[in-house]
């Protein structure tokens, strides 16, 4: 499969919405991380879909070096109650619905990587619909995209194709620079 992320657009600090089928979303996540790491970026994965422990094992099994990846995990504490942050590896949030904590975590983690080539990847917008209304998700993504633009950082939002209501999809499309439907 050809690259999912256009290198030139990534270097221009563009923000992407990547759409994938439910059956391929996990593979797209791995492909994107592999591509971005190969280009010398550090990727901060904000995960509402899989716990850090699961996602990091999956990456390692697929040959992705974890040296260039860190995580903001919104799943683990919601599932098991406690988990200790590991600096520059994983920061835990209590639950995916706590957008205030998620926004603070994004800001703090981005400060940790100041001066480096960084890209944020949000996995997955579709999963957030379990915890939040489309309106709240839209407001949060608008906040994040503006923060990324102001900080001159690339961003990727991963979502299941046809998994978003039309209004949310329209709003997300206006917030990002490029929409890639990987099928």
pLDDT one digit per residue (tens) for the chain, 183 residues: 468 888 999 999 999 999 999 999 999 999 999 999 999 999 999 999 889 999 999 999 999 999 999 999 999 988 887 889 999 999 999 989 999 999 999 989 988 888 899 999 999 999 999 999 999 999 999 999 999 999 999 999 999 988 889 999 999 999 999 999 987
Kindly state whether residue 3 falls inside one of the protein's structural domains: no
CATH number at residue 174: 3.40.50.300
CA distance 48 to 123: 6
In three-state secondary structure terms, 118 is strand
Q: Which domain holds residue 171?
A: 12-181
Overall number of domains in the chain: 1
pTM above 0.95? Answer: no
* Residues 6 or more apart whose Cβ sits within 8 Å of residue 6: 14, 178
The C-alpha atoms of residue 155 and residue 17 are separated, in whole angstroms, by 9
Contact 168, 136 (CB under 8 A): no
Q: Residues 180, 18: contact at Cβ < 8 Å? A: yes
């Amino acid at each position: 499969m050809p690259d999912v992320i256009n290198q030139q657009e990534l270097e221009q600090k563009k923000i992407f919405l990547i759409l994938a089928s439910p059956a391929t979303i996990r593979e797209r996540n791995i492909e994107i991380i592999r591509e971005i790491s190969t280009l010398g970026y550090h990727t901060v994965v904000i995960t509402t879909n899989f716990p850090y422990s699961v996602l990091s094992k999956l990456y390692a099994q697929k040959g992705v070096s974890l040296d260039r990846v860190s995580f903001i995990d919104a799943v683990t504490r919601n599932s098991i109650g406690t988990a200790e942050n590991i600096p520059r590896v994983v920061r835990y949030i209590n639950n995916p619905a706590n957008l205030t904590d998620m926004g603070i975590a994004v800001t703090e983690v981005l400060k940790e990587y100041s001066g480096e080539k960084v890209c944020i990847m949000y996995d997955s917008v579709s999963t957030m619909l379990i915890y939040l209304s489309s309106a709240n998700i839209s407001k949060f993504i608008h906040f994040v995209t503006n923060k990324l633009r102001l900080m001159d950082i690339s961003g990727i939002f991963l979502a299941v194709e046809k998994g978003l209501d039309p209004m949310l999809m329209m709003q997300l499309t206006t917030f990002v620079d490029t929409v890639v439907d990987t099928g």
